[in-house]
Amino acid sequence: MAHTWNPEQYLRFGDERARPFLELTARISAANPQRVVDLGAGPGTQTALLAERWPDAEVLAVDSSPEMIARARAVPGILAEQGDLRTWEADGEIDVLVTNAALQWIPGHLELLPRLVEMLAPDGWFAMQVPGNFEEPSHALRRELAANEPYAGHLQGIAAPASHDAATYLGALQQLGLDVDAWETTYLHVLHGPDPVFEWVSGTGARPTLQALPTPLREQFATEFRRRLREAYPDTGHGVVLPFRRIFAVGQRLA
């Protein structure tokens, strides 16, 4: 089922969403790459950090969302093109290929890794990050509510993110000939404002569910989802703590 992205909603927590990208790309030791690609780049704000790091490189943002790419095309220092991560092909070898918080939307994405690695130049770098928090209340409560009527009949076949553990990505990339560093981190994001966890998931994991519902049911679903999230993530008086596990792997292709 088709769904759209809202760059403004996604960027409401831009600093928190940028932290994993920064920690991921910090492990890339490419000295002077000529071609850098960010697959699933969203609005390009993080891709711009790659252009700042490697100012002599051609830096390309690729995303399937026309809304996100329209935003990325306005970001200085990078190129941007619309493309589906599942089928996009490079027109030459890539020195650094980054995919951050994108593969989780593709069922069976381990099967994509050989094609992505094959695009790398000798000694090229591949870096990926995916969320690993899909059993947390922010996702579990949405699934429980979505399984109930009157919602369930509208939510068959919606996109649902999923990922593997760090060891699985480590092994898969090693089998493809990369020298790999894999790890995971759980961030404790302290969020502020009314219903901040709902606002967070509305820009990412809950987006397909909300968009699939007709307007009256969407409002009803959102009201109940907010209530459940407030119970699961109470305000401590210092903000709402959202634990968020993320899984990373960085590898260099052995020449």
The pLDDT value given to residue 4: 53
Rounded Cα gap, residues 170 and 74, in angstroms: 35
Domains in the chain with CATH codes: 7-253 (3.40.50.150)
Q: How confident is the model at residue 2 (pLDDT cuts 50, 70, 90)?
A: very low
Amino acid (1-letter code) at residue 41: A
User: Can you tell me whether residue 178 is helix, strand or coil?
Assistant: strand
Rounded Cα gap, residues 255 and 246, in angstroms: 29
Q: Closest Cα to residue 120, out of 153, 98, 104?
A: 98
Is the pLDDT at 40 greater than 60, yes or no? yes
**Phi-psi region at 219: left, alpha or beta (left = phi > 0; alpha = psi -120 to 50):** alpha
Whole-number average pLDDT of the chain:
92
108-164: per-residue pLDDT in tens? 999 999 999 999 999 999 999 999 999 999 999 999 999 999 999 999 888 889 999
Q: How confident is the model at residue 13 (pLDDT cuts 50, 70, 90)?
A: low
The pLDDT value given to residue 5: 45
The pLDDT value given to residue 37: 98
Q: Closest Cα to residue 176, out of 104, 102, 252, 105?
A: 252
Is the pLDDT at 7 greater than 60, yes or no? no
The pLDDT value given to residue 18: 86
Rounded Cα gap, residues 159 and 3, in angstroms: 8
pTM, two decimal places: 0.91
197-230: per-residue pLDDT in tens? 999 998 877 888 998 999 999 999 999 999 999 9
The pLDDT value given to residue 25: 97
User: Can you tell me whether residue 201 is helix, strand or coil?
Assistant: helix
53-108: per-residue pLDDT in tens? 999 999 999 999 999 999 999 999 999 999 999 999 999 999 999 999 999 999 99
